[in-house]
Amino acid sequence: MFEKVLIANRGEIALRINRACKEMGISTVAIHSTADAESMHVRLADESVCVGPPPAGQSYLNIPQIIAACEITGAEAIHPGYGFLSENARFAEIVREHGITFIGPTPEHIRLMGDKIAAKQAVKELGIPTVPGSDGGVTSDTEAARIAEEIGYPVLIKAAAGGGGRGMKVAQKPSDLSLALATARSEAKAAFGDDAVYMEKYLQLPRHIEVQVLADSHGKVLHLGERDCSLQRRHQKVWEEAGSPALNAAQREEIGGVVTRALNKLGYLGAGTIEFLFEDGRFYFIEMNTRLQVEHPVTEAITGIDIVREQIRVASGSPLELDQKDIVFEGHAIECRINAENAFTFTPSPGTITQFHAPGGLGVRFDSHMYTGYRIPPYYDSLAGKLIVHGKNRNECLMRLRRALDELVVGGIETTIPLFQKLVREQDILNGDYNIHWLEQWLAKKSA
């Protein structure tokens, strides 16, 4: 096992990784930008290294500085968290070339899944069902028109290098297609430096359901069930549940089996998430994330498995101790992303937290780097905390979420707490009856 791990991230996820390390007796090195010198992740780590000025490109994405921080402190492994360098295959390679362990999959698998065209092709060959669409990239209007006719409108043009819900354009009818293709390409080029795009059938009322996996270097792959992340705004998750209100045990077992067999064939290592759209009882692969996800705690709540601990263990070469039959799903869990932004317009609201009180009690977890007097800097994403609630069943979970949200106090900045206080009282949400468009439609009705 490692003695010292460097955490190449900030905010709540750096704290989360620090906690797992502490419980494993591993000492920790935090990195930070000058804007984060006072941050909780720096205070709680054993050592810290300033890696640059506020802009992420010069600090949290500054590969030479991060490698140097490892060498100076003698850290043997790097946990990248999510975002920043977590899905950067070149970074994982450089880490490996320096004799440091990257806590995550191999650079080859990161690269494969980072190219969404190649990823889709690869998982299809491994027996995972995909969304009907182009077999590879789409370059010309005539090719796009031919494929769209085949799969039927509406269609979605997606960036091969896409992420964070960006670089997608819908064409409702043939006359929209040429413009959708051109805009998708130029947006993809601007956002990701790569204008490769592909095409999928645009599903009308799907849910977003993803399967969490864990794999060791001894050929064992386990699935930890699914999460339902259908409540989204601009293709970004807002609220996540485990399990999905739309799946039964047989469907869970079936998709879990399909995924674990596929990743076994691939020889995957570490934690990963296979994302699907789910419509009319069928699963359609959309992408694989080769890292820890923001919403991993809901899975931890219902399985009792510390996913970060397992990531560190398998990266060090230890085998997974559990077998699939040992993984039991208990109760229901929901996570709300508490962002520093207006609850209904989503305008960012950085600033100083003047008052802070975290909710507690049975089944309540609050992962956050906030404290009274902490100044949320304007340079990074707006996630300020995650409220995770676990109950014996979905009803208990929803009632607990209601009271936990009412206990949570964050003063001085705007947050998304009022949004969740409303959502947790909406009949469709109480019924578990929603799809990927529900939230946007609800927000549009509210502002009308």
Rounded to whole angstroms, how far apart are CA atoms 49 and 33?
9
Which of 127, 164, 174, 411 touches ligand ADP (CB under 6 A)?
A: 164
Q: Whose Cβ is closer to ligand ADP: residue 200's or residue 310's?
A: 200
* Shortest distance (Å) from residue 341 CB to ligand ADP: 19
The residue among 200 and 300 lying less far from ligand ADP, judged by its C-beta, is 200
CA pair distance 255, 154, nearest whole angstrom:
26
Q: Which is nearer to ligand ADP, 186 or 352 (CB)?
A: 186
**Least distance to ligand ADP, CB of residue 287, Å:** 4
Instruction: Determine the interface stretch with ligand ADP among 47-55, 182-190, 201-209, 324-332 (rule: CB under 6 A).
Output: 201-209
Considering beta carbons, is residue 10 or 201 the nearer one to ligand ADP?
201
Q: Are 289 and 273 in contact (CB under 8 A)?
A: yes
Region from 13-21, 68-76, 196-204, 371-379 binding ligand ADP, contact rule CB under 6 A: 196-204
Selected from 162, 225, 256, 385, the binder of ligand ADP by CB under 6 A is: 162
Using H for helix, E for strand and C for coil, what is the string for 388-429?
A: EEEECCHHHHHHHHHHHHHHCEEECCCCCHHHHHHHCCCHHH
Name the minimum Å distance from CB 229 to ligand ADP. 7
Nearer to ligand ADP, 13 or 131 (CB): 131
As measured in angstroms, the least distance from the Cβ of 115 to ligand ADP is 12
The minimum distance between CB 210 and ligand ADP, in angstroms, equals: 9
Residue 176 near ligand ADP by CB under 6 A: no
Radius of gyration, CA atoms only, the chain: 21
Strands of 25-137 (E only): list them. 27-33, 47-52, 77-79, 101-102
CB of 234 to ligand ADP, least distance (A): 9
Select from 57, 74, 165, 257 the one that contacts ligand ADP (CB under 6 A): 165
**Cα–Cα distance for residue pair 265/423, rounded to 1 Å:** 41
Among 36, 200, 216, 226, binds ligand ADP (CB under 6 A): 200
Structure token pair of residue 11: 């905010």
Distance, in Å, from the CA atom of 101 to the CA atom of 80, rounded to the nearest integer, reads 11
Of the pair 187, 310, the CB lying nearest ligand ADP is at 187
| Pairing verdict, β 332-339 and 236-242 | antiparallel
Q: 291 an active-site residue?
A: yes
Site for ligand ADP in 203-222 (CB under 6 A): 203, 206, 208
Q: How many residues bind ligand ADP (CB under 6 A)?
A: 20
Tell me the C-alpha to C-alpha distance, in Å, between residue 244 and each of 225, 228, 360: 9, 5, 24
Instruction: Give the range of 58-66, 195-203, 258-266, 355-363 binding ligand ADP by CB under 6 A.
Output: 195-203
Pairing of strands 364-368, 282-289: unpaired
HEC profile for 108-146? HHHHHHHCHHHHHHHHHHCCCCECCECCCCCCCHHHHHH
Residues 6 or more apart from 278 whose CB is under 8 A from it? 206, 207, 208, 209, 244, 246, 247, 284
Q: One symbol per residue from 28 to 67: x for binding ligand ADP (CB under 6 A), - otherwise; what is it?
A: ----------------------------------------
Stretch that binds ligand ADP, among 27-35, 157-165, 252-260, 326-334 (CB under 6 A): 157-165
Locus of tokens 């507690």: 360
Q: What residues contact residue 85 under an 8 Å CB cut-off, 6+ apart?
A: 8, 60, 61, 63, 66, 91
Residue among 91, 102, 198, 202 that touches ligand ADP (CB under 6 A): 202
Cα 170-200-346 angle, rounded to 5 deg: 45
Q: Which residues of 158-178 are buried (b: 16+ CB within 10 A; e: fewer)?
A: bbbbbeeebbbbebeeeebbe
For 410, phi and psi rounded to 5 degrees?
Answer: -130, 110
Per-position x/- string for 263-292, each x denoting binding to ligand ADP as judged by CB under 6 A, each - no binding = ------------x-x--------xx-----
Whole-angstrom CA distances from 406 to 210, 242, 418, 425 are 29, 22, 9, 12
The residues in 94-153 that bind ligand ADP, with binding defined as CB under 6 A, are 131
Return the residue of 105, 436, 438, 439 that touches ligand ADP, per CB under 6 A: 436
Q: Is 435 helix (H, G, I), strand (E, B) or coil?
A: coil
Note whether 194 binds ligand ADP by CB under 6 A.
no
User: CB count, 10 Å around CB of 305?
Assistant: 19
Minimum separation from the CB atom of position 401 to ligand ADP (A): 22
Candidates 86, 232, 244, 339; binder of ligand ADP (CB under 6 A) is: 232
Exactly one of 10, 185, 291, 365 is catalytic; name it. 291
- List residues with catalytic annotation: 291
Residues in contact with ligand ADP by CB under 6 A are 131, 156, 162-166, 200-203, 206, 208, 232, 235, 275, 277, 286-287, 436
